[in-house]
Amino acid sequence: MVYKLVFENLKHRPLRTLLSTLVIGVGVTMILTLVGISEGTLNEQRKRAKGIGADVFIMGSTSSVIGTGTASMNEGLLKFLEEQPHIKLATGTVVHSLGTFKTVTGADFEKFNRMNGGLKFLSGGPFSEDGDILIDEFYSRQEKKKVGDKLTLLNRDWRVAGIYQSGNAARVLLPIKVVQDLTSTNGKLTMIYTKLDDTANTDAVIASLKSQLKDYKIFSMEELISQYTTAAVPELGVFTKVVIGLSVFFGALMVFLAMYTAVLERTREIGILKSLGATPAFVLGILLRETLIMSVLGAIFGIALSYVTRWVMIQLIPATFTQEIVYDWWPIAGLVTMVGALLGVIYPAWKAATQDTLESLSYD
């Protein structure tokens, strides 16, 4: 009987029910999208790091894996490294930041290819003349560039020579000399990648390199990948918390307003129930059940909508952000907005359940 009343109430005002549900859903989507982006973007970075095909990485002591750092290592180091036992191949890159989340990588194309097994071109091909630039599929989609198109970077126009499959560390590739010239980093490297004869030797090589190269950061593929976590980017963790906090607050406020007016509209009905002997707890129970049902529907809608935001992101900015569907967060996001919704309904519900019954009955 209680649920009948609850469902009839929800059905009686379909538009209000729909709007409240949508508001709750948007809260869920906000949380899921944000968490999905921070997880997805890091996973994408891990995948790309693996795609380089290197076993041991070397960086200057001031660089960080997530940021780009400065090109602080001498090219001469490559020769030294290739003379070390077990190291088959050593190549360096210059990574230059183009602003938020965007970089251009200068690489020794021939060695870079040997390391990762060769770029897989989706269209076009490798550098053939001066002014050629290579981009990956996501970058090409985001910037809407095809082979032969003009691309302006570093105050210069380039011709897109080839578009390669994503998953190879860089989104935008130029010959290393070109980047060094344009960014006044001649003879310098940001990152060095080495390939070993056998990955079983990784620990031994790292130990030996560390004893000889004191001022460098040296680590294995596993270590590099383990650093791509939200913990490694504290700003991302704080940002996530702030946005989750905001979406909880926003969701609670919207539901508060929606339920407050809904309860006002229902003052008379609440008075009728009380005149029949219903307790405040009974009245509260009905309003809370309505809110719970809207929360559940809202959460389902919000989850569905997070697939839409992911699709939009894939269409518009695949190179900058990758949104993943993080199942673990479904119940968390649902619970968080549900708590917000309940907080929003308790005040007006309590007010309605305890006010003078006659006043409620004369309300119209």
Per CB under 8 A, the list member of 274, 321, 336, 349 interacting with another protein is: 274
Per CB under 8 A, the list member of 72, 278, 325, 332 interacting with another protein is: 278
Indicate the SS3 state at residue 50.
helix
| Beta pairing, strands 73-74 & 150-153 | unpaired
Q: Count of residues binding another protein (CB under 8 A)?
A: 26
Window 242-271: residues binding another protein (CB under 8 A): 268-269, 271
Does residue 12 interact with another protein by CB under 8 A? yes
Binding region for another protein (CB under 8 A) out of 1-9, 63-71, 193-201, 294-302: 1-9
| Shortest Å, Cβ 274 to another protein | 7
Indicate the SS3 state at residue 83.
coil
> Which amino acid is present at 37?
I
- DSSP state, 129? S
Describe the chain by its helix, strand, coil percentages, rounded to 5.
60, 15, 25
Binding region for another protein (CB under 8 A) out of 82-90, 241-249, 316-324, 355-363: 355-363
Does residue 18 interact with another protein by CB under 8 A? no
Binding region for another protein (CB under 8 A) out of 63-71, 207-215, 301-309, 353-361: 353-361
Please choose, from the candidates 21, 7, 9, 25, the residue with its C-alpha nearest in 3D space to the C-alpha of residue 336: 25
| Shortest Å, Cβ 12 to another protein | 4
- The distance between the two most distant Cα atoms of the chain, rounded to a whole number of Å, is 94
Binding region for another protein (CB under 8 A) out of 115-123, 140-148, 273-281, 308-316: 273-281
Q: How many CA atoms lie within 13 A of 112 on its CB side?
A: 20
Query: Is the distance from CB of 6 to CB of 289 less than 8 angstroms?
Result: yes
Binding-site ranges for another protein (CB under 8 A) = 1-2, 4-5, 8-9, 11-12, 268-269, 271-279, 282, 354, 356-359, 361
